[in-house]
Amino acid sequence: MDTPATAGDPRFFARTGPHPVAVLAAACGADAPAGDRLLRGVAPLQSAGPEEISFLDNRRYLPALVATRAGAVIVHPDQAAKVPATALALVTKEPYLGWARVAALFHPPAPLRAGIHPHALVEPGAEIDPTAEIGPFAVVGEGARIGARCRIGAGAVIGAGVTMGPDCRVGAHASVSHAMLGARVYLYPGVRIGQEGFGFAITDRGFVTVPQLGRVIVEDDVEVGANSTIDRGSAQDTVIGAGSRLDNLVQIGHNVRLGRCCVIVSQAGISGSTVLEDFVMVGGQGGLTGHLHIGRKARIGAQAGVMADVAAGTEVVGSPAMPVRDFFRQVAVIRRLVAERRAQASGGRLSAGDQATGDRGAERTDSD
Which residues are annotated as catalytic?
254
Are 312 and 295 within 8 A, CB to CB?
yes
Count of CA atoms in the C-beta half-sphere (13 A) of 135: 16
Are 211 and 230 within 8 A, CB to CB?
no
What is the SS3 assignment for 81? Answer: helix
Q: Which of 43, 38, 39 has its CA nearest to residue 6?
A: 43
For residue 58, what are the contacts with CB-CB under 8 A and spacing of at least 6? none
- Give the dihedral sign, CA 161/162/166/168: negative
Q: d(Cα 39, Cα 23) in Å, to the nearest integer?
A: 10
DSSP lists the bridge partners of residue 270 as: 252, 288
202: DSSP letter: E
What is the SS3 assignment for 12? Answer: coil
112: DSSP letter: P
Q: How far is CA 169 from CA 16, 104, 145, 156, 274, in A?
A: 22, 17, 14, 11, 27
Query: Residue 26: in which H helix or E strand, if any?
Result: helix 21-28
Query: Residue 191: in which H helix or E strand, if any?
Result: none
Q: d(Cα 10, Cα 7) in Å, to the nearest integer?
A: 9
Q: d(Cα 298, Cα 296) in Å, to the nearest integer?
A: 6
For residue 331, what are the contacts with CB-CB under 8 A and spacing of at least 6? 361, 364
Q: Which of 80, 86, 10 has its CA nearest to residue 48?
A: 86
Chain CA centroid to CA 325, Å = 27
Got the DSSP string for 244-276?
-EE-TT-EE-TT-EE-TT-EE-TT-EE-TT-EE
